[in-house]
Amino acid sequence: MDPVLIYIFAFLFGAIVGSFLNVCIFRIPLGKSLISPSSRCPQCKIAIKAYDNIPILSYFLLGGRCRSCRAPISARYPLVEGMTALFSVFLMLKFGLSASFFISFILISSLVVVSFIDLDHRIIPDTISLPGIILGLLASFMKPAGQNDFLVRFVFRTVKGGINMATLDSLLGIFIGGGLLYAVAVLFYWVTKKEGMGGGDIKLLAMIGAFLGWTSTVFTIVVSSLIGSIVGVALMVAKGADSKYAIPFGPFLSMGAVIYLFFGREIIRWYLHFRM
Confidence of residue 2 (pLDDT cuts 50, 70, 90): confident
More confident residue, 4 or 13: 13
Are 77 and 138 found together in one domain?
no
Confidence of residue 146 (pLDDT cuts 50, 70, 90): very low
Mean pLDDT over 103-109 rounds to 97
For residue 274, is pLDDT > 50? yes
Are 221 and 113 found together in one domain?
yes
Percent of the chain's residues with pLDDT above 70: 85
Are 113 and 10 found together in one domain?
no
The pLDDT, as a whole number, for residue 196 is 60
The pLDDT, as a whole number, for residue 147 is 46
User: pLDDT tens digit string along 22-78?
Assistant: 999 999 999 999 988 888 888 888 888 888 899 999 999 999 999 989 999 999 999
| Last residue of one domain, picked from the residues 95, 116, 131 | 95
The pLDDT, as a whole number, for residue 149 is 57
Which structural domain range is residue 64 located in?
1-95
More confident residue, 234 or 191: 234
Are 58 and 127 found together in one domain?
no
Are 121 and 138 found together in one domain?
yes
Are 64 and 197 found together in one domain?
no
- Directed axis angle between helix 76-95 and helix 99-121, to 10°? 150
User: pLDDT tens digit string along 238-265?
Assistant: 776 555 566 889 999 999 999 999 998 8
Q: Answer for the pair 170, 207: CB distance below 8 angstroms, yes or no.
A: no
Confidence of residue 165 (pLDDT cuts 50, 70, 90): confident
Q: How many domains does the chain have?
A: 2
Are 165 and 264 found together in one domain?
yes
For residue 117, is pLDDT > 60? yes
Are 180 and 78 found together in one domain?
no
User: pLDDT tens digit string along 178-222?
Assistant: 887 788 777 777 777 666 667 889 999 999 999 999 999 999 999
- Where are the alpha helices (H) located in the chain, listed in sequence order? 3-27, 57-61, 76-95, 99-121, 126-139, 150-158, 165-192, 199-212, 214-239, 250-259, 265-275
Are 84 and 134 found together in one domain?
no
More confident residue, 80 or 150: 80
| Last residue of one domain, picked from the residues 52, 75, 95 | 95
| Last residue of one domain, picked from the residues 53, 74, 95 | 95
SS3 assignment, position 197 = coil
Q: Phi-psi region for residue 74, left (φ > 0), alpha (ψ -120 to 50) or beta? A: beta
The mean pLDDT of the chain is 86
Are 146 and 111 found together in one domain?
yes
Are 90 and 102 found together in one domain?
no
CA neighbours closer than 13 Å in the CB half-sphere of residue 59? 15
Are 121 and 146 found together in one domain?
yes
First to last CA, the chain: 44
The pLDDT, as a whole number, for residue 240 is 67
pTM, two decimals, is: 0.87
